[in-house]
Every structure is written in C-alpha cells, then in structure tokens.
Chains A and B, each alone.
Chain A
C-alpha cells in the first residue's frame, strides 16, 4: 500500500472548517483513500473513503486532487468533540489497514 504523509498536529477554532491534508504521491490506480479518527480512549472511527471523486457524508467531505497524489479531509464546522488524531490511509483491495502516526487535531474554543 502507498505511504502517506500528514502533518503531526494542527489547531482549528471551534465553529470553523478544519482542513486536514494528506500526501500520497505513490498511490496506485486501484488504491482508495480512507480517513479514520481516534478520540482519546476510544477505538478508531471510520469517517469517509474515496477513489478519485470527491465524497461527502454526514461527518465530512473528502477532496482528492485530479492526479490523486494528495487529498484533504474537511470537517465543515469543527466542534470540541472533533479533537482527535486523524489518520489518512491508502488501501487497495483487501483487508489491510496500516495506521501511521496521523495528525493530532486540536479544536480550540
């Protein structure tokens, strides 16, 4: 699976949009981009995934660049409960999820 690069930490003001970037320059054509988050003392929580089109669900939006070498997870109106470590994972068909170090997002009141 392709390697991903994320900033180690980010801050976001409460109520503002949180934009979390991820670089995956070695991604292959059949690899999907997944986002999970882990709130302290809880299990990883699935957020969203996509292949090449932008995706939106009730939690977030995923924007994937046309060359698919990077993506951005957008939380449209961050709340204090969105403070967590966010993981960007690139995965081809199969079951392996390889979690890196992720981005620690702190939502500031």
Chain B
C-alpha cells in the first residue's frame, strides 16, 4: 500500500523565494497534518485539516506560511517569502479520521534556505 508521499525530498533555495511543499494523503484518509522538525525545537505541529477544512492552525509560525487542501487527497504548504530560519525538515501525516486513529507520516522534505 502506498504511504504518505511528499515532494520534493530536498529543496535548497535562496531567501526571499517562494517555496511549495506537496503531500499526497493515504487513500481513504481524511485528516491531514503538517509538522516541522528542527534540532532545537523537535517535532512541532503546524496545522491540522479534517475533511479538507483547517481545524487548528495555531502552530503556523506567521503569515508567510499558508497551507491548503485543494482536494481530499492532496495538500500544499507554501512559504512566501522564505527566510533562513525556515530551514527544517517538514513532514506531512495523514490519518483515517479523528479519535485514536494513528497518524502515518511521509518521509519529509528537507528544506534549506540560504
């Protein structure tokens, strides 16, 4: 079975550029999570969608970050303009609804902003 698919796996870009990270959910899952991982802060939840609707975006750092679900199986996380402090590994996870359903993670996008 295909897991959560993220692209690109690696992204290196200069500060000020727009960055778009992509995520394909596991088929049949209806909850979507974006996380960010750094050495200093560990794994942090950025935003949570349920049935394509953003439920909690309190972890989104600032207005430069935006996330969308244009359809039930796909999501994007956009950073515009990017800054060096945005450098991190960004993970997407999906689950089959709420409650105690486990979240399944993709292999992440390693983002470096120069």
Contacts and interface: CB of A to CB of B under 8 A. Distances in A.
Given A43-B93, A44-B91, A95 B56 contact: yes
Contact-size category for B: 20 to 34
B45 A96 contact: yes
The B interface, classified by DSSP as helix, strand, loop or mixed, is strand
A64 B65 CA distance: 40
B34 interface: no
The A interface, classified by DSSP as helix, strand, loop or mixed, is loop
A3 interface: no
Contacts of A99: 42-43
Contact of B100 (A93, A100, A101): A93
Contacts of B50: 95
Interface of A: 32, 34, 41-46, 49, 91, 93-97, 99-101
